[in-house]
Amino acid sequence: MIQQIKKLITISSVILFCLQINAQDGKYVATNGVKIYYETYGVGEPLLLLHGFMNSHKQWEPYIESFSKRYLLIIPDLRGHGNSSNPSNKYTHKLAAKDMYGLMDDLNIEKFKAIGASSGGMILTHMATMNTSRITSMVLIASTSFFPEETRAIQRQVLYEKQHKDRLAFLETLHPRGEKQIRQLIIQFNSMAEDYDDMNFTVPYLSTIKSKTLIIHGDRDVFFPVDIPIISYKAIPDSYLWIVPNAGHMPFGFYERESIWFDVFLKVIDGFFAEKW
């Protein structure tokens, strides 16, 4: 695990250096009481990419080259993550969903496609139920519609002092405000364990989603048991389900191309968004 973290730090640094040559300047938008940092790449139909909790926009670096050939990518840092602010120190997926709609409104983008990883997928679930017409199609990766008790147990146990130094070094590459920012994110993660309102989507609520939806989930996901995406698949009217075998919480090896599913994932996304299904 430690060697993997070290490798991720090295790979992400190399990717970041290469992308700096072609990246458009990062920008900020003030919305919903926070300043959201975002980057844009490519041209074409808008595609919003939302990272997971404790991560940042850098999570999507391995995919920019491929996706930017077909889409205008909008890649933000969620509130309090990366370069984005969060003066209230409050985080819920519903608040983050409002932030993202504020960002898209500022960009004058009415309709768009979206991919969300983990918390990013939870935010998209909120967005798709807040407004059923704006997200034309979306991909939910390693996401959930509710927190089971086994997830809440994990959320309670995460502490800054228990993080390995290599894990902290990796997090510092994502969050420029360092220890203070990382500690605050961990506290917010802990607080999710006691919040029974934010992520509590029932089947009737999920059935209101009109976005064409692809649900992708690892069958070895330790955070969210595999029966949860099956519930969502059955509830969301126009949905597809891909259970990735022998895969954990992030089944495609973010920050690297060593996952055997990496290229398959790109082809699946192309087919799904191109309306070939």
18 pLDDT band, cuts 50/70/90, is very low
Q: Average the pLDDT over 191-201 and give the result.
A: 97
Q: What percent of the chain has pLDDT over 90?
A: 84
Predicted pLDDT at 252? 79
The pLDDT of residue 10? 44
pLDDT digits (tens, 9 = 90+) for 145-158: 999 999 999 999 99
Structural domain boundaries enclosing 150: 2-273
Structural domains counted in the chain: 1
Mean pLDDT in residue range 86-106: 98
The domain that holds 38 is classified in CATH as 3.40.50.1820
Residue pair 178/158 in contact (Cβ under 8 Å)? The answer is no
Confidence bin at 250 (pLDDT 50/70/90): confident
Cα gap 243→150, rounded to integer Å: 20
Bridging pattern class, strands 34-41 and 27-31:
antiparallel
Side by side, the strands of the sheet bearing 239-244 are: 27-31, 34-41, 71-76, 45-50, 112-117, 135-141, 212-218, 239-244
pTM for this entry:
0.90
Segment 76-90, tens digit of pLDDT: 999 999 999 999 999
Indicate the average pLDDT of the chain: 91
